Amino acid sequence: MEEWFEDWSVPDEAQPQPQDYAFDLDWALSSVVGLQANVPADAFTASALGTERVGNGVLIREDGVVLTIGYLITEADGVTLTTGEGQEGPGHVRGFDQATGFGLVQALEPLAAPVLPLAEGGHAPVGEKVIVAGAGGRERSVAGRIVARQEFAGYWEYLLDDAIFTAPAHPLWSGSALIGPSGKLLGIGSLHLQHQTSSGRVMPLNMMVPIELLPPILEPLAAGGHELPGRPWLGVIAQEVDDKVMIVGTSPDGPARRAGLNEGDILLAVGGQEVASLADFYRSLWASGPAGSDVALKLNREGDVFDMVITTRDRRRFLKTPRLH
């Protein structure tokens, strides 16, 4: 991890400067740590997400709990944390939440880093001056603004009602800290996206998971996440094409593949409700009952319209679970 940690920096003109903030900038940035996770080759997510995952996390509790983005640590059997001063130490996964996307890591040795306080919910309006911070201080952080707050639907059966989008984009966004003007944590970095403006210019953005989603699930997530409700899951990869929802792939051994759902199928309705967007699809699916319930789909396959009933599953049952120490 040391080579990665010393390998790059944000251009000087994009870095935050202490005089621009009413809090101790360097203190806040030092709460962000580097994170490297190792995942077994036979893990369910290994083929899609890889077996070596690198990103960031933020120390949020005095007992060594680090908040990150869940896909970095899903099914990980070993985690290394690195402070901005280069101190390395082991960690283990406490839990990851499929609904929000958050993940928690427990540092197994004391971290020489301060705890970054969480912002009180909802105070992150469009136009707000923010910092997107990676491990390593100012050289790994970007001064930016919130450019949008809106719904985000991901192709992997994931939906946020009010995601945060920031610009300019951070080059190593996974698990990065979104720090607001009060020096508190507003969100956690999830994705790098390309947005085309009305003028045709392509603007790279970061999508952030809002921190107000964390407090209601923090304690059960820290206990492994087993008590959090599991959403019904089909195991599809879907995209919006011309105001239609198209299946572009299915997960190995998932309910959709086992039921015979094919790449190229157009999803017309779920449980009798017409769908025209990924958000429509997910909300109808999750309203169909708990994981393990049957859900009725109406599909168009090359002009042939037909019905299919699939028994949903809890996605967590396919994943290697954290081994709490």
Residues 8 and 45 in one domain: yes
User: Are 72 and 55 spatial neighbours (Cβ–Cβ below 8 Å)?
Assistant: yes
Residues 245 and 129 in one domain: no
Residues 116 and 200 in one domain: yes
Task: Please determine, for residue 116, whether its predicted confidence score (pLDDT) is greater than 90.
Answer: yes
Domain endpoint, select from 196, 228, 260? 228
Tell me whether residue 79 is in a domain. Answer: yes
Amino acid (1-letter code) at residue 221: L
CA–CA separation, 198 vs 8, rounded Å? 32
Rg (alpha carbons) of the chain, rounded to whole number: 20
Residues 252 and 217 in one domain: no
Tell me whether residue 243 is in a domain. Answer: yes
pLDDT band of residue 323 (cuts 50, 70, 90) is low
Q: Among positive and negative, which fits the CA dihedral 281, 161, 115, 206?
A: positive
CA–CA separation, 14 vs 144, rounded Å? 8
Residues 184 and 56 in one domain: yes
CA–CA separation, 154 vs 98, rounded Å? 12
Residue with tokens 């059960």: 220
Tens of pLDDT, residue by residue over 54-68, are 999 999 999 999 999
Residues 24 and 126 in one domain: yes
Task: Please determine, for residue 7, whether its predicted confidence score (pLDDT) is greater than 80.
Answer: no
Here the tokens at position 164 are 């945060």
Tell me whether residue 277 is in a domain. Answer: yes
Quick one: which of 11, 23, 20, 140 has its CA closest to 83?
A: 140
What is the residue-wise DSSP string for 134-170?
-TTGGGGEEEEEEEEEEEEEETTTEEEEEEEEEESPP
Here the tokens at position 165 are 């989008």
How many helices and strands (H and E) does the chain possess?
7, 20
Dihedral, 174, 28, 210, 66 alpha carbons, nearest 10? 60
pLDDT band of residue 112 (cuts 50, 70, 90) is very high
Residues 136 and 278 in one domain: no
Residue 122: per-residue pLDDT: 66
User: Are 104 and 67 spatial neighbours (Cβ–Cβ below 8 Å)?
Assistant: yes
Question: What are 164's strand-pairing partners?
Answer: 149, 208
Tens of pLDDT, residue by residue over 162-202, are 999 999 999 999 999 999 999 999 999 999 998 877 777 88
Tell me whether residue 324 is in a domain. Answer: no
Quick one: which of 123, 69, 138, 139 has its CA closest to 98?
A: 69
- The H or E element containing residue 71 is helix 70-73
Tell me whether residue 173 is in a domain. Answer: yes
Residues 27 and 92 in one domain: yes
Tell me whether residue 325 is in a domain. Answer: no
Residues 240 and 219 in one domain: no
Residues 215 and 245 in one domain: no
CATH of the domain at 312: 2.30.42.10
Domain around 172:
1-228
Cβ contacts of 274-278, under 8 Å, gap ≥ 24: 275/245, 276/243, 276/244, 276/245, 277/153, 277/240, 277/243, 277/245, 278/153, 278/154, 278/155, 278/159, 278/238, 278/239, 278/240, 278/245
**CB neighbours of 18 closer than 8 A, spacing ≥ 6?**
25, 26
Residues 195 and 255 in one domain: no
Tell me whether residue 69 is in a domain. Answer: yes
**CB neighbours of 101 closer than 8 A, spacing ≥ 6?**
69, 70, 71, 158, 160, 188, 190, 209
Domain endpoint, select from 159, 194, 228? 228
Tell me whether residue 323 is in a domain. Answer: no
CATH of the domain at 63: 2.40.10.120
pTM of the full predicted structure?
A: 0.95
- Compute the mean pLDDT over every residue in the chain, rounded to the nearest whole number: 94
Residues 267 and 306 in one domain: yes
Between these two residues, 49 and 201, which has the higher pLDDT value?
49
* Number of structural domains in the chain: 2
Residue with tokens 């997530």: 221
Amino acid (1-letter code) at residue 168: P
Domain endpoint, select from 173, 201, 228? 228
